[in-house]
A and B are shown apart, each in its own frame.
Chain A
Amino acid sequence: MLNYLLKRLIMMIPLLLGITIITFAVIHLAPGEPVEMQTALSPKVTKETRERIRKFYGLDKPLHVQYVTWVTRLAKLDFGRSFASDNRPVLDKIKERIPVTLSLNIVALILEFGLAVPIGVLAARYRDRLFDKGMTIFVFIGFSAPSFALAIFGIYFFGVVLGWLPLSGLHSLGSESLPLLARLWDLAKHVILPIGIVTFGAIAGLSRYMRSSMLEVLGQDYIVTARAKGLSERVVIYRHALRNALLPAITLLGFSVPGLIGGSVIMESIFSIPGMGKLFFDGVMMRDYPLIMGILVIGAGLTLVGNLLADLLYAVADPRIRHGKG
């Protein structure tokens, strides 16, 4: 197991390098230089100042030198300073936003698996019956309804018409003084809509996958054998079939990370949630280059970590991977 982990970690290094190269390339697609952007707004900036900033960012050097300088700084976890007026280190800004985005998405992910797996399994078991057909329609609606439209109607209906839920943010004003339970309740009321909408949209993929995976497994010889030796349908489905159908779903876990993080741009913008997506969107709007680069690298890095965790989980669940060539 340790060997496997080590191998996986080493394989991440070229991927990380690739991530930085693409991020660097994307940023240099832009016409004009970051310095122009930063200084264009204030006419007071003299030519000398501009030159000084150019020097500071190494923009007077050729591209590959700039890249190497940037990556060397990244390796020391120096992501540079934000162009925004607060001029804070990019890493600090991202660090305070990551927990929000991550915890919201983890809750959504848990809900997604908790709902989609049973839906898929039951749909396969009662294939072509009412449950299967109803669920097919339900998950397809979730998949195809644009999340931002659901968010708007959700806010309007639950927030404005019924007045049950707050309209935006993570906390109510003055919630800090409330006792712990009341504070949690307050938080829950703020996040139920964004989390619910993200989950609703994500169920389709996984539940359809589980359904076809179950159908495939149920056609295997060992299932026929299990049935033939008189095991009850419950044991056949939940002990023999589910385990094997569930395995490939674990890899989906890793794949869903970039989608969830990317989707947080929309949800966090609509609900004014102070997470990484909102930070990124604001950064993009202000052309805050160091921030954009930092979030691209860290966002992709999080995906790598997600994939690694999924692979480890897979190795734990499937001894063939653990002991085989992997």
Chain B
Amino acid sequence: MSNKGQTSYFYDVIWSRFRVNRFALAGAVVVILMFMVALLAPLISPHDPAAIDAYHILLPPSLDHWMGTDDLGRDVLSRMMHGAGISLMVGFVAIGIAIVIGTVVGLLAGYYSGWADAVLMRFVDIMLCFPTLFLILAVIALLEPSIWYIMIIIGLTGWMGVARLVRAEVLSIRERDYVLAARSIGASDLRIIFRHILPNVMGPVLVSATLGVAGAILTESALSFLGIGVQPPTPSWGNILSAGKEFIEFAWWLSLFPGLAIMVTVLSYYLVGEGIRDALDPRLNR
């Protein structure tokens, strides 16, 4: 009972629709490039990101230092390259947590409906009331700032949208004939949920995961900017920018490059996410 062939056909169709979307394709290229930079940072970064050089502080961009040096004489490009990994890791782990929680809550609420649905969705409503940044700040400040807490708390405060989305999908999917068929041959609830319903909600989940990574990268950089995110000397785009703000009058490169990097990365994830959404739902385009 394999449906591998059909699945790959499905992805072929999605890919062929995605491919013709130039914005989305450009976003995907940037995303892949960023990944390569992050993975290869130790090999390709021109300098040691932690090497302090008192004779070369706050140098403007040059051939030796493409993005200049910071107030401790460290090479900004090398720090940016090492920071890329941190930013991407925070984005992916945080959204991974959010997706898992959101999907499980949405599946349970949508499939069982009744009081389970009522309780879970009221919980979602309550969580949605809090200004997310307030919750994150409170938790991180109370437990020491650390990159693990940041990833976990961004995940724990970011799953509600996914839960709502999945629930809405499940509500319509569970009425389909194939679910009825599965039930009539005696499939257990768990099997129906994970084998028959889950694969059909993965599309929209993938879209919100992609958009979510963009949001998580922004949140991490905002926290690092406020000084309660990734702690120096570990470089992250947010804390490079934060350190640079004091020198903006005579060292613009310290703020500009991390700012641009965040923007381009967030934009790319967003374009990819929108591209997947349009590819999944051809009604909206074409």
Contacts and interface: CB of A to CB of B under 8 A. Distances in A.
Given A141-B267, A148-B225, A149-B259, A15 B126 contact: yes
Interface stretch (A182-190, A237-245, A280-288): A280-288
A312 to B, nearest CB: 17
7 contacts: A29-B139, A140-B267, A145-B259, A266-B133, A281-B137, A287-B142, A296-B135
Contacts of B258: 149
A301 B139 CA distance: 19
Given A140-B271, A296-B134, 4 more contacts: A29-B143, A258-B131, A259-B131, A303-B129
B63 interface: no
Contacts of B132: 258-259, 262
B177 interface: no
Contacts of B262: 144-146, 149
Contacts of B129: 15, 19, 258, 300-301, 303-304, 307
Given A258-B128, A300-B129, A280 B134 contact: yes
B17 to A, nearest CB: 16
B130 interface: yes
A216 B284 CA distance: 7
Interface in B135-163: 135, 137-139, 141-143
Interface stretch (A45-53, A115-123, A152-160, A318-326): A152-160
B245 interface: yes
**For chain A, what secondary structure do more than half of its interface residues adopt (helix, strand, loop), or is it mixed?**
helix
Interface string A115-153: 000000000000000000000100011011111111011
Q: Report, as a range, how many residues of chain B touch the other chain.
A: 35 or more
A143 B266 contact: yes
Nearest to A266: B222
A99 B137 CA distance: 22
Given A140-B271, A258-B129, A149 B134 contact: no
B214 interface: yes
Nearest to A261: B131
Interface of A: 14-15, 18-19, 22, 26-27, 29-31, 136, 140-141, 143-150, 152-153, 156, 160, 212, 215-216, 255, 258-259, 261-263, 265-266, 269, 280-281, 284-285, 287, 292, 295-296, 299-301, 303-304, 307
A146 B131 contact: no
7 smallest A-B Cβ distances: which pairs?
A262-B131, A149-B259, A262-B133, A18-B126, A30-B142, A144-B266, A144-B267
Contact of B226 (A15, A265, A300): A265
Contacts of B123: 18
A255 B255 CA distance: 32
Interface of B: 23, 122-123, 125-135, 137-139, 141-143, 214, 218, 221-222, 225-226, 238, 241, 245, 248-249, 252, 255-256, 258-259, 262-264, 266-267, 270-271, 284
B263 A141 contact: yes
A259 B136 CA distance: 13
B284 A146 contact: no
B122 A303 contact: no
A145 B248 CA distance: 17
Contact of B143 (A14, A31, A140, A150): A31
A259 B139 CA distance: 17
B134, B143, B249, B270 pick with most chain A CB within 10 angstroms: B134
A284 B141 contact: yes
A156 B241 contact: no
Contacts of A266: 133, 222, 225-226
A18 B123 CA distance: 8
Given A26-B139, A265-B133, A144 B226 contact: no
Contacts of B23: 136
Nearest to A212: B284
A201 to B, nearest CB: 10
Contacts of B122: 14-15, 18
A8 to B, nearest CB: 13
A168 B106 CA distance: 44
Given A145-B259, A258-B130, A262-B132, A30 B143 contact: yes
Given A145-B263, A258-B129, A262-B133, A269 B226 contact: yes
Contacts of B245: 152
Given A140-B270, A153-B259, A26 B138 contact: yes
Contacts of A280: 134, 137
Contacts of B125: 15, 18
Contacts of A22: 126-127, 130
B135 to A, nearest CB: 7
Nearest to B274: A208
B130 A152 contact: no
Given A15-B126, A140-B267, A156-B249, A303 B131 contact: yes
A30 B131 CA distance: 20
